[in-house]
Every structure is written in C-alpha cells, then in structure tokens.
Structure 1
C-alpha cells in the first residue's frame, strides 16, 4: 500500500525569516494549506491594529496570501487577560484563526516568561487558552504550538491535555524540548503519545527535510498533517513533492525565477538597509538543497550593497529605486 499523503501541510512561523514576503513566495510555489505568522509579542497592553497589520499584512486581504493561502496570526505572552484582549482584537480583523505560541526556544523570549518557558506551567497555559477561547468568537479556531518541554519531556502530555481541555481546537507539536533547540533528531514517537492523550487534532513538526522524512514522520507520530519550517525554506518544492510522489521538487533552473520574484518583493516592501541581508539569508538556507545556491552565496556573502548584490546574482542592476509614494502604496497593499 502506498503511503498516504498528509491531509494538511502548514508553513511554520519562523521569527526573523518567514515573514510575509517569504510566505508570499513559498505559497505561490504551492502545496501549503495554511501559514502561521511570526509571533506577535503581547506584554501588558492592547496592541493597535497597525501592529498586527505590520506583521500580518495579509489581514488587509481576508487573511490570505496573494496565492490564496490562509494565514493565522500567532500571539505570544504569559498574561492570560492581555493575550485574550489582543486575540479578540485580531480576531475582529478577519483571520482564519488565532494561534498561541508555547514553543519559541529563544532565551530573550523565555526570560520574560514567554514561549517554551511556559511548558513548566501547564496551569498558566490552561488559563491563557481558556481566556483566549472565551474572547475569540466561534467559529474562529484557536490553536496552539508547543515543544515537548523545557529541559525534558516529562510534562509534555500534561501540557497538551491542559491545552485541549482549556479549549484549543488544534495543537502543533514540535518534537523537541527547548533544551534540544534545533539539534537533530526530532522525537516523533512522543508526538504519538500526545496525540493518543488528547481529543483534538495534533499536527507533527520537526526535522522534516525530504518527502521520505515527511512520510516517516506521519507514520511514527500517527498524525495525518504536518508543519514544515526550515525544510520548506531550504527546499521550496518540498510540500509539492510530499503531496505528489511523482513531483521531484524544483530544479535550480525553476528556482531562479522564484528567487527573482522574492528579490522584487523585498526590493519594494523591505527597508533598503535590510534587503541584501534578506537575500543572503535565504540563499544560505537554499544551500542545503542546491549546490548552485552555495556557489552564489560564496560569491555574495560579503556584499552588503543591494544594488551590487543584484548585479552579481542577476547580471544586471535593479530598476530605479521605488519612490516614497510607491513604498507607501506597497505597505498599504
């Protein structure tokens, strides 16, 4: 019997990398059913709508990327009442759900009681989700993303049960602890333990770089859906290849116009000083899948001028710099 492809493939939130520009490009390639935004940090105040729009500009267009893929804003914090208040505000902007972050391993986040640090406090997790579920009108889903724990996975099931019992409609499990960071392997079998212990859908996440690993993850975890992060950034054709075994992914020749589209988007929507860095950042990830990306990265690694980098990568200077009016229009769009 042939392996069953996943029911859903989600694009993960990755702070400082998978912003609206890369979401746009990767969902154009295809195979992704839903995205989760970078976290929106909630620290004791009701955020104005412009903050949500800056991180999730798709909210201006029905919560969809230009390719029509839903984006679910993700909130992060430890104050249940404040998170609930902000969740209600962003829910009123028409997203296809609200997500809560209990998985970020960053030290600066965890020091302030956010992200994965809360996995030592299942009671706090329950309060946050319960308050958010009450504040967000149905049928808007409330989902959560977690790791297996902080230093060990002994409370993983307890945390997932707290989420489900408090009203989470869906849980994504990154199959590593905070202490593991992104070091392989991912412990997919522990996702299966969590999945068996809760009555809401569980989505598997962690260390999926190839179609074979995707199907193995589904088999071991018992899940029917996946979230892809670094694997999709490194191989933009991964979701398509997972869904369609006959699809070999994108060749480098097919990847080049995709990368060019990304440059054109970055050029219009990202501040000038950050553009070269964004291009080099994605090239660095693409090296894992494409030797040609490694060669290109070696050529431009030390170049910080966006125009010069464009000449090296594409053999030409970029078009004239966008006017202030064009940049304003782009930010509104």
Structure 2
C-alpha cells in the first residue's frame, strides 16, 4: 500500500485543485520532484513521469512562446497514467491546454501560492519523511542529555523500569515497548512511538502508566534521533565483558550502523545511572575526549618509561 497519495499533499500544503479531481488518490512513490523544462521544450526521452511535476514562472513563460498546437501536444505528453500530479507555484495563471490535458488523463492539477524553490523544498522534506524506509524494534527510547538512547534486551530484563528511573532523573521518554524507526538519511535514524501507546509505560506489577500525566509534558517527546543502543542482558559469569571501553560494537538498523554497548544486569547495579553516564561519555567521545584511549596512552607511557629505566640500569 502506498504511504502517500496526491490527496495527502493537497491537504498538507492547502493546495488549490484546478482539474483532474478523479486522480487525487494516485500513489506517490518517490520523493524526487521534477521541473519539466526540457519536456516542455519537446524532449521527452527521459521524462520521469512517476514524479510530482512542478511548474514555475520559467516553465510557464516558455509555454507562452509556443504555438497552441505545440502546447497541446506537449501538455498531453506531460500528463500520463502514472503521473501523481502537476503543481503550479506562485499562484500563476494555468494554461488552458494544461487544464484540458489534466482533466482528460485524470492527472491532479494543483496550485500553490508559495515560490517555486520554497514549495519544492517543503514538498521534498515532507515526501522524504513519509517515504523513508521504516522498521520497528522491541525496546525503549529515551532522550538523555540530548542523546537518543535506545535500550534493548530480552523481555523482563528491566528496560521499562530503567526508563522510568531515567524519567524520574529528568530525562524524556520517547517510546516504550515498540520503537518505530525511519531512516531519513544515509546515517540518520529517527525513532518514535506508535500512536496507540504514545507517552505510555508498562511496569510489571503496576500496569500501564501515563508518563506525561504523572511527570508533566517535559518528561516526554514525540520523536528523537537514535545515536546509541544499549543492550541489557542477564549477567553471564562465563562471558567476557569490555572493562576498558576500547571495544566498539555496532548494531545495524535498516542501512545504518549505530554504536552499541552491552550492559550486564545483576542485583545491586543501578542501571539508570550506568546508562546516564554512558550517554554523557558518548557525548564526550563525539567531542574528542575518550577516557579509555587516554588511559591506554598513559599505560603505554608508563610501560615505556619503566622499560627505559631498566635498560639504563643494565
């Protein structure tokens, strides 16, 4: 099923529908927008008919220089069975030949008061957001000091309880149980909550609680970029855990690799504080301060100095 149809952009940008009303439910399959200048000049060899077509002052002023017969032929070719719509910017006058062709082939012909470049930018951003690749991950997403931390782990390991403690410490809940993720760019993952469970948190023994009602509007947010994944797992004494922080593990979500930390869970460990510090340490690393690397350099320096002293004694 198509995520976006022409009627969605008509409602979103309050566009005036001039003709081609029968086609307003056509699917939009790409966020790319075409300004068909070459096509209006007569070159249709590589016409991207599946895109929204945007006509501005340049294209329409060129159309005026063509004969009536040329305009009819080229407007007919511009309107195809797969064209989701044609937009006119700046509230410009629409040529009669385009109106007739749009009505004939049921291609929605719309008009906006915005300037061409501004409308193109806003429409592209809207379509990229709606058509971005999406997935869902079982976990909790929390905004900690501006870092989007997604907490994952097996059911019952304590993800929601940890999120509740983080909210009490002043951080903001984005999603619990199910994190809906969309990839807006090659390295940008945006996480949010399904509408049905937005602002809700499930705590075993208590049931469903509304975080916004209990802690206020400042304790929640609708979406957040995911920059760190923390995997909670039951402590396994046979497993080796990173104690220096030099090992770098990642988790692949859609087409993006996100830094991942594995935190073992055992009685007495304050997970909320550990995750809070992990988020702060992650921010420091992005600013160029890596405590583990600094320790390793100090250790290497101390070992080198000791070896030099031994050589001098010999």
More helix by share: 1
More strand by share: 2
Larger Rg belongs to: 2
